[in-house]
Chain A
């Protein structure tokens, strides 16, 4: 149980395009999902917290107009990187918590985004 599916696993696109990444909790409902970013040889950094039915909460330094988050249902959150540039190339990982706050977070397998 507690499977988080992320799609696509890899994206390569031209500078200026927008890219949408989907995160689904397959066998549980998640009122809260988290989006992380990881640069090479670095640890995961939280970008935003996605709450079902309300606006996402962004971490300091993360542009909400560039990284659009939608959490329209209890099993789906999407991250759209708008007008992507080479510096946005990174490994994006979503996470969801099954059940109460003391339960562990489960992570998707990540999306490798490469902007040319």
Chain B
């Protein structure tokens, strides 16, 4: 699976949009981009995933660049409860293997 690079930490004001970047410059055509988050002392929570089209659900939007070498997770109106470590993971389509976690981005939403 392709390696991802994320900033170590970010801050965001409550009520504003949080934009979390992820670089995956070695991504292959058959690899999906997944986003998870982990609130302190809890298990990871699935947020969203996509292949090449932008995706949106009730939690967030995922914007993938046309060359697929980077993506951005957008939380449109961040709340204090969105403070967590956010993981961007790239995974081969159809693979039975597990998700592999990197270091992620610690997002802190400030009041």
Q: Which residues of A contact B (CB under 8 A)?
A: 2, 4, 6, 32, 34, 36, 43-46, 49, 91, 93, 95, 100-102, 104-110, 112
| 12 A-B interface contacts by CB (under 8 A) | A4-B43, A6-B43, A43-B87, A43-B104, A44-B101, A104-B34, A105-B46, A105-B99, A107-B44, A107-B46, A108-B43, A109-B42
Are B49 and A104 in contact (CB-based, < 8 A)? yes
Q: How far is the CA of A35 from the CA of B104 in the complex (A)?
A: 19
Q: Inside 8 A of B43's CB, which chain A residues have their CB? A: 4, 6, 93, 95, 107-110
Are A101 and B96 in contact (CB-based, < 8 A)? yes
**Consensus secondary structure, chain A interface:** strand
Residue of B nearest to A105 (CB): B99
Closest 3 CB pairs of A and B: A107-B43, A104-B46, A44-B101
Q: Inside 8 A of B100's CB, which chain A residues have their CB? A: 46
Q: Inside 8 A of B94's CB, which chain A residues have their CB? A: 100-102
> Which of A45, A102, A106 makes the CB contact (< 8 A) with B93?
A102
Are B98 and A112 in contact (CB-based, < 8 A)? no
CB distance from B51 to the nearest CB of A (A): 9
Q: Which residues of B contact A (CB under 8 A)?
A: 32, 34, 36, 38, 41-46, 49, 87, 93-96, 98-104
Are A112 and B49 in contact (CB-based, < 8 A)? no
CB distance from A21 to the nearest CB of B (A): 12
Q: How far is the CA of A34 from the CA of B49 in the complex (A)?
A: 19
Q: How far is the CA of A108 from the CA of B46 in the complex (A)?
A: 11
Q: Inside 8 A of A101's CB, which chain B residues have their CB? A: 93-96
Residue of A nearest to B100 (CB): A46
Q: How far is the CA of A101 from the CA of B99 in the complex (A)?
A: 11
